Amino acid sequence: MSEINNGQSETRVIEAGPPLWLLAEITYACPLHCAYCSNPLNLTDKKDEIGTEEWLRVLSEARDMGAVQLGFSGGEPLLRKDLEQMVAHASELGFYTNLITSGIGMTEKRIAALKDAGLDHIQLSFQAANAEANDLIGNRRHSFAQKLEVAKLIKQYEYPMVLNFCLTAQNIDQIDDVLALATELDADFVELATVQYYGWAYVNRDQLLPSKATLEAAEAKVNAFRDKQNGKGPKFIFVSPDYYEDRPKACMNGWGSTFLTVTPDGSALPCHSAKILPMTFPNVKDKSLQDIWYQDFSFNKFRGYDWMPSPCRDCDEKEKDFGGCRCQAYMLTGDMYQADPVCSKSPHHHTIEAAIESAAKQHDKSVILRDPKNKIDIVTV
Amino acid sequence: MSQVPKRNRLYKLQFEKAQDSYVLLYPEGMVKLNPSAAEILLQVDGEQSVDDIIIALKTKFPEAPDDIGDDITAFLSDAESKDWIHYV
């Protein structure tokens, strides 16, 4: 909806529905140091984290606005001792609560307490299907063994279990083992997510990006496995990296349409990568979530279609993909208004082709781990 | 039909004020239900058979057409293929 005043100046009032999905990133601290982490390059200090009371208020405000799915994420959300308190509050409010965890730090005592608090679902990440590769990628010894224990606890306490495997050049050739492990652990859903290049993953892109041939071989194996499942066992969801597509992803289902992320320091973002963009985002310490979602300049900035330059402006697919990802446009072109360069219609599509070529030439696949001692300033082109 | 349908514990059924409808919630997802789908799923409790459910809904909605039973069985079969319910 747009209102035009006297045909002179245009005031844009864009109708937005409620934020159905709230991602509560309650800490950036993490016992793992995965090189493909999508979190920001400069990590927030623990001392900047907002407190329990503030989180409880944020959850209440989001629920009042109609949010229904709530993800507790990070970093590693188990590192916050008030997690159980937040889950109990969210559950009482009627949220469907998802815990997105590496499993490190989960104990039987905590998983039972979380059940009592009303936690609905646990998503457990694996870095690979065997101890050696898993512990190397996350750079933490014995983490694979701990994850197996946690998977058993999740089933024992009758949570729906989603497993998440991040696929990269380092582990994609082990896809058969991944399929077998997920089946053995009796997962309900399994996300086989090829890494997307944000945060630390962007720094390590040359090392992480699998070749198209490897990717297609992996996907073919997943499809063949699925055909043999006869509707039994885990449901596998294969997510291709957008670098090999010729149309961009409908990022976040459109800016400010469905997703709201609150980061450990209280920043409110339309997606968890948006902080890299050259604009100011509001903080829940200063404003209500209602104000942020409906009124804040940043949330309205890329709503609708009027902000788009060509080729998106005139494209008949703009309502399907919303011009793709603003962060990817910014990282690859230096201009956040541009079409996502994944699109073959983008004048910057060559940056994607160059990245694929560069990764193919990169034979040294050693990576820079996400670690405060490897702290890197925000990288832009 | 004497078969007894049961809801899949993966899918949580609740009323959402903001959607003004019943929804099924599952890991990171939501299905918005139309009013008749919601009425049927609310009857699925792991104890009532399909026939019991048809009778219960006919009693609740006496103005409904006579062949409502066909619609109910068609919906339940769809719900089974979507994994929302299974038969005990």
ipTM: 0.90
Average pLDDT, chain A: 90
Record the pTM. 0.90
Name the residue facing B28 among A65, A98, A158 (closest C-beta): A98
pLDDT in tens, A140-194: 889 999 999 999 999 999 999 999 999 998 899 999 999 999 999 999 999 999 8
- What's the rounded mean pLDDT across residues A11-22? 76
Residue A3 has pLDDT above 90, yes or no: no
Mutation pick from A70, A119, A188, A261 vs chain B, by most beta carbons of B within 10 Å, is A188
Fold of A21-239: TIM Barrel (3.20.20)
Residue A378 has pLDDT above 80, yes or no: no
Contact predicate B16/B24, CB 8 Å: no
DSSP annotation of B11 reads: S
What is the CA A379 to chain-centroid distance, rounded?
A: 19
CATH dotted code for B5-82: 1.10.10.1150
* A145 Cα to chain B: minimum distance (Å): 25
Contact predicate A272/A281, CB 8 Å: no
Buried b / exposed e over A123-154, threshold 16 CB at 10 Å, is bbbbbbbbeebbbbbbbbeebbebbbebbebb
Could you tell me the residue ranges of all domains in chain B? Answer: 5-82
Provide DSSP, B13-58: EEEETTTTEEEEEETTEEEEPPHHHHHHHHH--SSS-HHHHHHHHH
Residue A11 has pLDDT above 60, yes or no: no
The count of other CB atoms within 10 Å of the CB of residue B34 is 10
Taking the C-alpha atoms of residue A255 and residue A232, their distance in angstroms, rounded to an integer, is 37
Contact predicate A96/A59, CB 8 Å: no
A23 neighbourhood in chain B, CB within 8 Å? none
Residue A2 has pLDDT above 70, yes or no: no
Q: What is the pLDDT of residue A43?
A: 64
Q: Are the Cβ atoms of B25 and A69 closer than 8 angstroms?
A: yes
The lowest-confidence range among A37-51, A116-130, A324-338, A349-363 is A37-51
β-bridge mates for residue B16, sequence order: B21
pLDDT in tens, A306-323: 999 999 999 999 999 999
Mutation pick from A65, A70, A96 vs chain B, by most beta carbons of B within 10 Å, is A96
What is the CA A341 to chain-centroid distance, rounded?
A: 20
Q: What is the pLDDT of residue A201?
A: 84
Give the pair of three-digit tokens for residue A375. Answer: 């702290």
Could you tell me the residue ranges of all domains in chain A? Answer: 21-239, 251-361
Whether A327 has a binding-site annotation, put simply, is no
Q: What is the pLDDT of residue A96?
A: 97
